[in-house]
Structure 1
Amino acid sequence: MSSHASEPSKLSRRAFGGVVSASATAAALGASAAPAEAAPHQPRESQERPFRAAAGRHAKRPNILFILGDDLGWADLSSYGAPHIKTPNLDKLARQGVRFTDAYSGSATCSPTRFSLYTGRYPGRTKGGLAEPIADRSVGLDPNHPTLASLLRGAGYSTALIGKWHCGYLPDYSPTKSGWDEFFGNFGGALEYYSKLGLGGEYDLYEGDVREGDTEYKDLRYYTRILTERAGEYVRRDHGGKPWLLNLNFTTPHWPWIADGDEAESAEVVRKIKAGDARALFHTDGGSVEKYTEMVEDLDRSIGQVLTALKETGQEKDTLVFFASDNGGERFSYNWPLSGNKASLQEGGIRVPTIVRWPARLDGGQVSHEPVFTPDWTATLLEIGGARPDKAFPLDGTSLAGYLLRGERLQERDLFWRVRGERAVRRGDWKYYRGKGGTDQLFDLSADRREQADRAADQPKLLAELKAVWEKKDKELLPYPS
């Protein structure tokens, strides 16, 4: 192993060296997270403070605004190195909180990651999590399984989910059956942004468990506008003194590649859907880097509007805001220098941009290189929100509350992933990976984020150890259906 890989919470140690000068530089940053003198394809990490918890602070239980982008690549934000995409609102959020460079999704596609977030467990613990992703009505998130929302609601939180659910369909599965007091959004994995037609050609915009339009009207405005409006309304609402959890799940920048104002392209996709083209929403004949850029920048503006609502209502200080993508980027995403993309367990398929801000407890302008993944955030938010996990459904994530808030060292542990035909384990800087070709590989990510220098031959003992870790964990999980 590399010399620093075995050190627990290596950034907590580094924080004591150079933090004063680094913080002074970070405080002087303007609106751009990557100053003009920075290398064009790299975020200026040297101007951010290494992570150090603000130990000793106390605050009331926070509101939790948990925002997910959809199929957003690791480097699709300007604060993560995108040379052509401008994301000033998310860059500002990073400057005000902690930006994670080595954060991962719970899986490589949409619905399994959402299962891992809502349950705090590996997707393979549940039947619904084996679908990669859910594409029919046969499986979903069992309403009897405790969730982030149900546990926080039991601890006194108001709960809402706005946007993409993708954890099962009615009549058996829905957010309101799994702990969320309110739901407004779509059930499926994708929808056309204006018509709201889903992968099966059905209208997929719901208010609770009632399809919107069945009783009153259909909202045919651009979907990102509608979700942003709804989220703003929820934030501005009087919650009667109760803390709240809002899962805000945008579909942007998931295909189809339709930006706000693209009514003509929308009409063409709708025409194909109504003509029976089952793959129309995949939009394989549309999109471009420029269109994708437009969608990501619109997502950034939309998030900025929701953050403005927090500030204007005086809730900014006491709201923990989390932002990430549900998995790696798709075909127009900017993932450099990572290899692979969505659906792969290479870094580009599971490493995601991740930002956390909580002004009452976390100092801004910080960067953490600790490896973390989706189930960790479930455990973290439950601890911060004062909710106890259900002992019958033990969590697979590790709470980061001690690391973030009390300056505790984050002990080295193994992060595990499984998708059909691929496997991966990360321990410290090392990653064991087997792709669909069946070859076991070992990479030192501290020196080779692109996963091109296979170290399996000169580290056979470590390779065997991590392979055994993966196979032992795999035996605990449900088998994939044949």
Structure 2
Amino acid sequence: MKFSFLHLALCFLTTLPALARDPNVILIFTDDQGYNDLSCFGSETIKTPHIDALAEKGLRLTDFHVPSPVCSPSRAGLLTGCYPKRVGMHQHVLFPKSTYGLNPEELTIADHLKANGYATACIGKWHLGHLPKFLPRANGFDFYFGIPYSNDMNHPANQKRPKLPSDELWADQKTAVTLWNTPLIRNEEIIEVPVDQQTITRRYTDEAIQFITSNKDRPFFLYLPHSMPHIPLYVPDDAYDSDPANAYKCVIEHIDAETGRLTRTLKELGLEDDTIIIYTTDNGPWLKFKNHGGSAKPLRDGKGTTFEGGQRVPFIISWPGHIPAGGKSDELTSSLDLFPTIASLTGKPLKPAKKIDGIDISKVLTAGEESPRDEFLHYTSSGELDGLRQGDWKLLLRKKGAGKPQVQLYDLSKDIGERTNLASKYPEKVTTLQKRMTELDAEITTNARPVGGKFNR
């Protein structure tokens, strides 16, 4: 923890105002955005002034982790506060042929806030079950507008998918936008096939602004999971640069501009000080697509891996008058922690009937305290136990085929890029961490709850 943030927090707490109303919550959640893909997280090429402004008014978490390096499990963990394995959503991503989804009997952030008088909306990519019984309105949301799975998947059975994106397709957006037969849904009804992906980020924002405006006199929870920058990449004509080298940059800067529209709306409606805004992403960047993917520097690797680049992601939270401005915390935190934390910040304490894995980190955010989280399990994109973070130590058991796993041990306080394997130097630490990760996983496995529907990828 930086002294500057501790000093700010201590000064700030003496003037912390009482809540005039229940705070609104806006959770902006991008897809496949890297740790380095915001100006305020070190990007030298991507300009994100509106998102940076949120960081200037609030706090950045630099050691924030998602529970899976791929989409569906990560989203399940975010909304339920549970490791994906605990809710049966750990075995990779869902596809248009999948007959399962997030079990509606699970308690979500939306369920909890709705039960406490909040208006709730999900606007964007869902990817937790495309069948009506698994869509957002079955999981606590009053309203849904968005695509049900990734934007490179086709309705109805994922057939005839074109090759993944290329510079040629970026150069011809008008043709490329017709190649993926991805549906757009309002509530449970498909209203457009294929969705116009050139305009979808802006249309999400249009719907979000309408929702905010319609609910300006009551507390609301807006979950805004953008379908970009997952490939294929698109932007509207006024945000387009024909040079494919700038494809990814265009998409992030367009998301930033649309974030600016949201924050302006809040200011115009007098809601800026009454709204908690969180900005983060589901996993690291899809590096193999080069200029169509992002950057996780200085971290190792990206999406699909349990290295830091796959699961450590940018995180920003802003709430003027309650979270000290301009802060940075290096404490270990996770998207699993957002459910109990949001419950705490909104004054709606969480008392779940079923066990969750999230921990309330509100004091980390508002008072600069140490994180109550000291451990974090790593699972592969297919849901296999792969490692444990404990303090600054990280153990990975990298399996390759049927052979013995390759044991890797890193001290992240000195080696954030995971370059120096210390397993042979500290065998006792390896043994201790391996025993602990097995214990933690065994409890989750024993008490795992059923997924919704019949498992079928």
Residue among 300, 303, 318 paired with 2:256: 300
Deviation at 1:306?
0.9
Q: Write out aligned runs for 1:158-237 (5 A).
A: 158-191=119-152, 199-200=158-159, 202-213=181-192, 222-237=199-214
Q: Secondary structure at the match of 1:317?
A: helix
Distance in 1 of aligned mates of 2:235 and 2:399: 34
Relative to 1, partners in 2 of residues 1:324 and 1:198: Cα closer, same or farther, differing over 3 Å?
A: farther
Q: Secondary structure at the match of 1:212?
A: strand
Q: Secondary structure at the match of 2:396?
A: strand
Distance in 2 of aligned mates of 1:108 and 1:220: 24
Residue among 133, 149, 152 paired with 2:93: 133
Q: Write out aligned runs for 1:400-479 (5 A).
A: 400-406=361-367, 408-411=369-372, 413-419=374-380, 420=382, 423-437=386-400, 438-478=405-445
Residue among 55, 59, 65 paired with 2:13: 55
Is 1:253 equivalent to 2:253 in the alignment?
no
Relative to 1, partners in 2 of residues 1:391 and 1:249: Cα closer, same or farther, differing over 3 Å?
A: closer
Which TM-score applies when normalising by structure 2? 0.83
Residue among 119, 124, 135 paired with 2:85: 124
Deviation at 1:236?
1.9
Deviation at 1:233?
1.5
Contact kept in structure 2, 1:417 and 1:425, CA below 8 Å = yes
Deviation at 1:392?
2.9
Contact kept in structure 2, 1:162 and 1:183, CA below 8 Å = yes
Distance in 2 of aligned mates of 1:375 and 1:98: 18
Deviation at 1:385?
2.4
1:174 corresponds to which letter in structure 2? L
Distance in 1 of aligned mates of 2:315 and 2:181: 33
The answer for the alignment partner of 1:276 in structure 2 is none
Poorly superposed stretches of 4+, deviation over 6 Å? 195-198, 217-220, 262-265, 479-482
Q: Secondary structure at the match of 2:237?
A: coil
Is 1:322 equivalent to 2:282 in the alignment?
no
Contact kept in structure 2, 1:53 and 1:403, CA below 8 Å = no
Residue among 103, 115, 136 paired with 1:142: 103
Q: Write out aligned runs for 1:276-287 (5 A).
A: none
Relative to 1, partners in 2 of residues 1:308 and 1:455: Cα closer, same or farther, differing over 3 Å?
A: same
Percent identity over the alignment? 30
2:347 corresponds to which letter in structure 1? G
Deviations 1:85-124 (A, max 9, x none): 1111111111110011111112111111110011110000
Deviation at 1:161?
0.5
Deviations 1:381-419 (A, max 9, x none): 012223343543222011011332355443352111212
Residue among 337, 343, 348 paired with 2:309: 348
Q: Secondary structure at the match of 1:367?
A: strand
2:358 corresponds to which letter in structure 1? G
Relative to 1, partners in 2 of residues 1:101 and 1:226: Cα closer, same or farther, differing over 3 Å?
A: same
The answer for the alignment partner of 2:74 in structure 1 is 113
2:312 corresponds to which letter in structure 1? R
The CA RMSD measured in Å over matched residues stands at 3.0
Contact kept in structure 2, 1:53 and 1:362, CA below 8 Å = no
Deviations 1:118-139 (A, max 9, x none): 1110000122x12311123221
Distance in 2 of aligned mates of 1:319 and 1:330: 32
Contact kept in structure 2, 1:344 and 1:422, CA below 8 Å = no
Relative to 1, partners in 2 of residues 1:188 and 1:476: Cα closer, same or farther, differing over 3 Å?
A: same
Contact kept in structure 1, 2:99 and 2:131, CA below 8 Å = no
The answer for the alignment partner of 1:377 in structure 2 is 338
Aligned length: 414
The answer for the alignment partner of 1:42 in structure 2 is none
- Where in structure 2 are there 5+ consecutive unaligned residues? 160-179, 288-292
Q: Secondary structure at the match of 2:317?
A: strand
Which TM-score applies when normalising by structure 1? 0.79
The answer for the alignment partner of 1:270 in structure 2 is none
Deviation at 1:15?
4.4
Contact kept in structure 2, 1:150 and 1:178, CA below 8 Å = yes
Distance in 2 of aligned mates of 1:264 and 1:61: 39
Contact kept in structure 2, 1:191 and 1:198, CA below 8 Å = no
2:303 corresponds to which letter in structure 1? K
The answer for the alignment partner of 2:169 in structure 1 is none
Q: Secondary structure at the match of 1:477?
A: helix
Relative to 1, partners in 2 of residues 1:350 and 1:218: Cα closer, same or farther, differing over 3 Å?
A: closer
Relative to 1, partners in 2 of residues 1:52 and 1:321: Cα closer, same or farther, differing over 3 Å?
A: farther
